[in-house]
């Protein structure tokens, strides 16, 4: 089964390519490595979850935000590689969580993205990860993530 078929089976439709919010490109390919710029939880053209996780945003909503981020990342990966079937390995996921003071469950928030990668790519989706609490994110997003991918 292709990755595209797997997404369809999961009722996931990839959105249009996200627009850069600054002077950068969505991804850079160097050899067989693809480095993605940060992805926000954009849904239907707007940031779906804003504010601080642990006060304004629930842990469940932060997981959904991380899931939206990784779905946007899949769009960027597909655009860069031509097909998601050209992914050899998800190497690393870096998740930044807009955290309220005292919030320490960044890893749980990040699971929203990690679990989807594992479900979609199987063993190739198992990755190294950093889940980091930050004071602010662009556009007051609850979560932002970046991905490093090895291509075929």
Specify the CATH number for the domain of residue 123. 3.30.1330.40
Q: Is residue 129 part of a domain?
A: yes
Q: Report the 10 Å Cβ neighbour count for 38.
A: 21
Q: Is residue 118 part of a domain?
A: yes
pLDDT for res 148: 98
Q: Is residue 100 part of a domain?
A: yes
Pairing of β 143-151 and β 87-98: antiparallel
pLDDT for res 20: 83
Q: Is residue 10 part of a domain?
A: no
Q: Is residue 13 part of a domain?
A: no
Q: Is residue 20 part of a domain?
A: no
Q: Is residue 9 part of a domain?
A: no
Total structural domains in the chain? Answer: 1
**CA geometry: angle 15, 125, 144, nearest 5 deg:** 50
Full residue range of the structural domain in which residue 147 is found? 25-151
Half-sphere exposure of 37 (CA within 13 A, CB side): 16
Q: How far apart are CA 12 and CA 47, in angstroms?
A: 18
pLDDT for res 19: 80
Q: How far apart are CA 141 and CA 137, in angstroms?
A: 6
Q: How far apart are CA 103 and CA 100, in angstroms?
A: 5
Q: Provide the pLDDT confidence category of residue 58 given band limits of 50, 70 and 90.
A: very high
Residue 71 has pLDDT above 90, yes or no: yes
Q: Is residue 6 part of a domain?
A: no
pLDDT for res 21: 79
């Amino acid at each position: 089964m292709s990755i595209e078929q797997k997404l369809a089976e999961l009722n996931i439709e990839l959105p249009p390519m996200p627009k850069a919010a600054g002077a950068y490109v969505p991804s850079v390919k160097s050899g067989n490595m693809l480095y993605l710029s940060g992805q926000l939880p954009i849904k239907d053209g707007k940031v779906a979850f804003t504010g601080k996780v642990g006060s304004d945003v629930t842990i469940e909503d932060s997981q959904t935000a991380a899931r939206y981020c990784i779905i946007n990342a899949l769009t960027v990966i597909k655009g860069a590689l031509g097909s998601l079937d050209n992914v050899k390995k998800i190497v690393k996921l870096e998740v930044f969580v807009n955290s309220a003071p005292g919030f320490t469950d960044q890893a749980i928030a990040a699971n929203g993205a990690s679990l989807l990668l594992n479900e979609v790519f199987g063993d190739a989706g198992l990755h190294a990860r950093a889940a980091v609490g930050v004071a602010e994110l662009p556009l007051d997003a609850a979560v932002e993530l970046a991905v490093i991918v090895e291509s075929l």
